[in-house]
Chains A and B, each alone.
Chain A
């Protein structure tokens, strides 16, 4: 066994508009959390937050929403070959998933509100294992549809019950 074997990254990038979706989601989460803090400290008076606490929170939340999507965009990749699907996700922690085409059970395409406005879609590929779904976030809608068609066609051609 050679110790220098490594995986290359999957070939395809997600849509350049995907970071917008992640940024919007991060901002929404930041605002919801801020609203919760306001309710807890100002309305319910569970604790008192000093003014600089709010400043630190705003800087962290905005910094996260500004930097994370760009970083994440460099990580998220996908690839589909004749015999397998290969994805890479995450930003600080990363996860690569490989599923053989013969074990694919379902292929889903979903769109959230923001993704729909931007013409994006997410593709989820599941296998018979509860731990195995492969998710590709933020593909161009037509790329996603082509991928789903292709995967469906290939998995239909495979015999067996995929367990």
Chain B
């Protein structure tokens, strides 16, 4: 197309520009008000002293005007092959993304949005993955319009093959046909919440934040009242377990709360044309994520120690073109029973192999390395304490207590070796590793775009390598940890034919 015809079509299409939903006018001022709340309160309270001061009206007007400004200045449109987002009245910025680069579409609705029947639409494209702002955000559209836009974006994307095949698979306009529900959250799964790593981290952070305040309160209560005296009168055998139980209860409650907030009503479904997966979840703020099937490069099963001990796990999708930042938006199954995770995974991949195929273990050298790395550092502690007891007159009990460490280390090493392995199926490379953060990843072999073969000094001496399959999806690199060199190279050669063979020795 020449430049002039470009300009002409530009003019002709100016009518296509769409606004955000008018109701967003109510969302933004409320949001801005909340953000400006300290200022607004300050203005009103301080304003009292000097009557008739116009400042406190400004404090309310500014956020409202900002909302109006954003409504007036934001437009978007979909042309034949791309989506454009225009922002700003005086200084203009136009964000453009080709439709075939759209990987995910996410509809988020905070309680205010839901009240007004609105949703924020975030469009994930891979184009700017390296410079941060790779998401187009429309805040906000009416829920129905948002869903229509999502259907448009995801179904128009691979336009070329579709045109060839005839548009039989196109979704007709009007009410959306029923989706196939693959999985729905069973509320009893909250029992897994306290055992997830993220649940623990959130709970600990919350506790840490409040512990200073709590500490003060407890101190004062203990010193000032008779409660302190009574608690101190109790034997340690009672107070310590009571403290531990309270701690666990608080942590569990926080974790369960977090789980419900994020995952209430979690539904995974496949759209009628089979071209995308939808995930719907959230108690207060609801979130609907859609993942283009063509961009799905594999799955990750996460089995952190706590979940694994009670037979649970969670599942995430490996989606190409989304950076590591967007990992949170690709959850397919929240912490749930392992059987559910496997069933959903098999359904999503369309085959059973990658998630259940027995794995090739990495052999005696890898096992030795697991034990060395776990037992040596943890064994040094009681050793040093023992020496201090002998030479420096320290008490003996710290050394005896520290003997727990190498015992735990031995168990950890055994578990880490048991978790180590890989397999190659017809379409997938499967790798598993870890104990505390146990995981099994299945990566499409066609999604592998390079190999890194790493050897530390000690790995070299043990004849082991860490083979890393690089990819444009998920966490960008998947490790085959501590495999014997020959096994790793043969695996790399077999997984991506015609790449490694030209560099083989002999």
Q: How many of B's residues come within 8 Å of A, CB to CB?
A: 43
Most buried by A among B457, B472, B498: B472
B-binding residues in A (CB < 8 A)? 1-8, 10, 79, 81, 83-84, 86, 92-100, 103, 127-132, 134, 162-163
Known: A128-B472, A129-B477, A130-B324. A4 touches B486 (CB 8 A): yes
> With A6-B505, A95-B453, A96-B453 in contact, do A131 and B486 touch (Cβ < 8 Å)?
no
Is B476 touching A96 in the complex (CB atoms < 8 A)? no
- In the complex, 27 of the A-B residue pairs with CB atoms within 8 angstroms, ordered by the A residue number, are A1-B494, A2-B486, A3-B484, A3-B486, A3-B490, A6-B506, A84-B502, A84-B503, A94-B455, A95-B453, A95-B454, A98-B453, A98-B492, A127-B450, A127-B470, A128-B126, A128-B472, A129-B470, A129-B472, A129-B477, A131-B452, A131-B468, A131-B470, A132-B449, A132-B452, A132-B477, A162-B449
Given A7-B489, A131-B470, verify A93-B457 contact (CB < 8 Å).
yes
Interface residues of B in 321-358 (CB under 8 A from A): 321, 323-324
CB distance B504 to A127 under 8 Å?
A: no
Which chain B residues in 450-494 approach chain A with CB under 8 Å?
450-457, 460, 468, 470-473, 476-477, 484-487, 489-494
4 tightest A-B CB contacts, nearest first: A131-B477, A128-B472, A129-B470, A103-B449
B275 to chain A, nearest CB (A): 18
Give the complex CA separation of A131 and B451 in angstroms: 10
The answer on a CB contact under 8 Å between A8 and B477 is: no
Interface status of B68 (Cβ within 8 A of chain A): no
Partner of B323, one of A3, A86, A130, A163: A130
A83 partner, pick from B126, B324, B494, B499, beta carbons under 8 A? B499
Interface residue SS majority, chain A: loop
Closest to A11 in B: B503
User: Knowing A1-B494, A6-B485, A7-B503 touch, does A103 contact B450 (C-beta < 8 A)?
Assistant: yes
Structural contact, A96 and B450, CB atoms closer than 8 A: no
List the A residue with the shortest CB-CB distance to B450.
Answer: A99
> A116: shortest Cβ distance to chain B, in Å?
26
A97 CA to B453 CA in the complex, in Å?
6
B472 touching A163, Cβ below 8 Å:
yes
Min CB–CB distance B431 → chain A (angstroms) = 14
- CB closest residue in chain A, given B474: A129
Inter-chain contact total with CB atoms closer than 8 Å:
119
Complex: A138 Cα to B438 Cα, angstroms: 40
**Bound Cα distance A3, B490 (Å):** 8
Known: A3-B486, A84-B499, A98-B503. 11 other contacts (CB 8 A): A1-B490, A5-B486, A86-B503, A95-B454, A96-B452, A96-B453, A97-B453, A128-B472, A129-B477, A132-B450, A163-B321
B contacts, CB < 8 Å to A: 126, 129-130, 320-321, 323-324, 449-457, 460, 468, 470-473, 476-477, 484-487, 489-494, 496, 498-500, 502-506
| Shortest distance between the CB of B212 and any CB in chain A (Å) | 29
Q: Is A98 touching B504 in the complex (CB atoms < 8 A)?
A: no
User: In the bound complex, how far is the Cα of B472 from the Cα of A94, in angstroms?
Assistant: 23
Nearest B residue (CB) for A126: B130
State the Cβ distance, A132 to closest chain B Cβ, in Å: 4
Q: Chain B residues near A83: list those with CB within 8 A.
A: 498-499, 502
Contact A3 B487 (CB under 8 A): yes
User: Cβ of B468: which chain A residues have Cβ within 8 Å of it?
Assistant: 131
Instruction: List, in ascending order, chain B residues with CB within 8 A of A162's CB.
Output: 449
A129 and B486 contact, CB distance less than 8 A:
no
Tell me the bound Cα distance from A131 to B496 in angstroms: 18
Point out the residue from B130, B460, B470, B506 that lies within 8 Å of A94, measured CB to CB: B460
Query: Which chain A residue has the least Cβ–Cβ distance from B477?
Result: A131
With a cutoff of 8 Å between Cβ atoms, the chain B residues found around residue A7 in the complex are 453, 489, 500, 503-505
Q: In the complex, what residues of A have CB within 8 A of residue B491's CB?
A: 1
| Chain B residues, Cβ within 8 Å of A79 | 503
List residues of chain B with CB within 8 A of the CB of A163: 126, 320-321, 449, 472-473
A27 to B: closest C-beta gap in Å: 24
- Assembled-state Cα–Cα distance A6/B491 (Å): 11
Contact B502 A5 (CB under 8 A): no
Decide: A92 near B470, CB < 8 A? Known: A127-B449, A129-B477, A131-B477.
no
B503-A8 in contact (CB<8A): yes
A131 lies within 8 A of B476 (CB): yes
Q: Is the CB of A130 within 8 A of B476?
A: yes
A residues near B472, Cβ cutoff 8 Å: 127-129, 163
Question: In the complex the two chains form, what is the Cα distance from A92 to B451 in whole Å?
Answer: 20
Q: Is the CB of A97 within 8 A of B486?
A: no
Residues of A within 8 A of B450 (CB): 97-100, 103, 127, 129, 132, 134
Q: Nearest CB to that of B126 among chain A residues? A: A163
Interchain CA distance A85-B485 in the complex, whole Å = 20
Give min CB distance, B135 to chain A, whole Å.
Answer: 17
Q: Closest residue to A3 on the B side, CB-wise?
A: B486
Inter-chain CA distance A4–B489, complex, in Å, is 9
Q: Which residue of B lies closest to A85 (CB)?
A: B450
Question: B473, B498, B499: which has the most chain A beta carbons within 10 Å?
Answer: B499
